[in-house]
Protein backbone atom coordinates (compact mmCIF):
# COMPACT_ATOMS: atom_id res chain seq x y z
CA UNK A 1 0.00 0.00 0.00
CA UNK A 2 1.30 3.46 -0.87
CA UNK A 3 1.25 6.49 1.37
CA UNK A 4 -1.37 9.10 0.45
CA UNK A 5 1.34 11.71 -0.19
CA UNK A 6 3.51 9.41 -2.33
CA UNK A 7 3.55 9.87 -6.09
CA UNK A 8 2.39 6.99 -8.24
CA UNK A 9 4.93 5.47 -10.61
CA UNK A 10 3.19 7.16 -13.55
CA UNK A 11 3.27 10.53 -11.80
CA UNK A 12 6.97 10.08 -11.03
CA UNK A 13 7.66 9.14 -14.65
CA UNK A 14 5.67 12.12 -15.94
CA UNK A 15 7.48 14.55 -13.64
CA UNK A 16 10.85 13.03 -14.57
CA UNK A 17 10.00 13.42 -18.26
CA UNK A 18 9.30 17.12 -17.82
CA UNK A 19 12.53 17.59 -15.81
CA UNK A 20 14.56 15.66 -18.41
CA UNK A 21 12.98 17.66 -21.24
CA UNK A 22 14.05 20.90 -19.57
CA UNK A 23 17.57 19.57 -18.97
CA UNK A 24 17.85 18.52 -22.63
CA UNK A 25 16.43 21.81 -23.93
CA UNK A 26 18.46 24.26 -21.86
CA UNK A 27 22.21 23.77 -21.65
CA UNK A 28 22.70 25.52 -18.29
CA UNK A 29 19.27 26.37 -17.04
CA UNK A 30 18.66 29.03 -14.48
CA UNK A 31 15.32 29.29 -12.73
CA UNK A 32 14.52 32.43 -14.73
CA UNK A 33 15.27 30.75 -18.08
CA UNK A 34 13.10 27.79 -17.17
CA UNK A 35 10.25 30.03 -16.07
CA UNK A 36 10.41 32.32 -19.09
CA UNK A 37 11.65 30.45 -22.14
CA UNK A 38 11.31 26.68 -21.95
CA UNK A 39 8.11 25.04 -23.06
CA UNK A 40 7.36 21.65 -21.63
CA UNK A 41 6.94 18.67 -23.92
CA UNK A 42 3.57 18.16 -25.56
CA UNK A 43 1.06 15.73 -24.07
CA UNK A 44 1.83 13.26 -26.89
CA UNK A 45 5.58 13.56 -26.30
CA UNK A 46 5.12 12.89 -22.58
CA UNK A 47 2.89 9.91 -23.37
CA UNK A 48 5.48 8.49 -25.73
CA UNK A 49 8.25 8.74 -23.15
CA UNK A 50 6.16 7.49 -20.22
CA UNK A 51 4.37 4.74 -22.12
CA UNK A 52 0.83 6.12 -21.87
CA UNK A 53 -1.11 5.59 -25.08
CA UNK A 54 -3.89 8.15 -24.73
CA UNK A 55 -3.62 11.89 -24.34
CA UNK A 56 -6.39 11.83 -21.75
CA UNK A 57 -4.35 9.55 -19.48
CA UNK A 58 -1.37 11.93 -19.76
CA UNK A 59 -3.62 14.92 -19.05
CA UNK A 60 -4.98 13.12 -16.00
CA UNK A 61 -1.46 12.55 -14.62
CA UNK A 62 -0.56 16.19 -15.32
CA UNK A 63 -3.72 17.30 -13.53
CA UNK A 64 -2.78 15.25 -10.46
CA UNK A 65 0.71 16.80 -10.45
CA UNK A 66 -0.80 20.28 -10.79
CA UNK A 67 -3.22 19.59 -7.92
CA UNK A 68 -0.24 18.62 -5.74
CA UNK A 69 1.54 21.87 -6.63
CA UNK A 70 4.45 20.16 -8.39
CA UNK A 71 3.76 21.79 -11.74
CA UNK A 72 1.77 24.80 -12.85
CA UNK A 73 0.68 26.18 -16.17
CA UNK A 74 0.28 29.71 -17.41
CA UNK A 75 -2.50 28.97 -19.85
CA UNK A 76 -5.08 26.31 -20.54
CA UNK A 77 -2.72 24.15 -22.59
CA UNK A 78 -0.37 21.67 -20.94
CA UNK A 79 2.41 22.84 -23.24
CA UNK A 80 2.67 25.87 -20.97
CA UNK A 81 3.25 23.87 -17.77
CA UNK A 82 6.27 24.64 -15.61
CA UNK A 83 7.92 22.97 -12.67
CA UNK A 84 6.90 24.69 -9.46
CA UNK A 85 9.75 26.09 -7.43
DSSP H or E segment with residue 82:
strand 81-83
More confident position, 54 or 34: 54
**For residue 26, what pLDDT band results from cuts at 50, 70 and 90?**
low
In this structure, the number of other CB atoms found within 10 A of the CB of residue 33 comes to: 14
Q: Residue 78 — pLDDT band, cuts 50, 70, 90?
A: confident
> Is pLDDT above 70 for 1?
no
Confidence of residue 73 (pLDDT cuts 50, 70, 90): confident
**Which residue did the predictor score with more confidence, 34 or 25?**
25
pTM over 0.85: no
Amino acid sequence: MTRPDALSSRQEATLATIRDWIAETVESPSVRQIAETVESPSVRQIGGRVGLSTTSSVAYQLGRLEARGLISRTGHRWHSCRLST
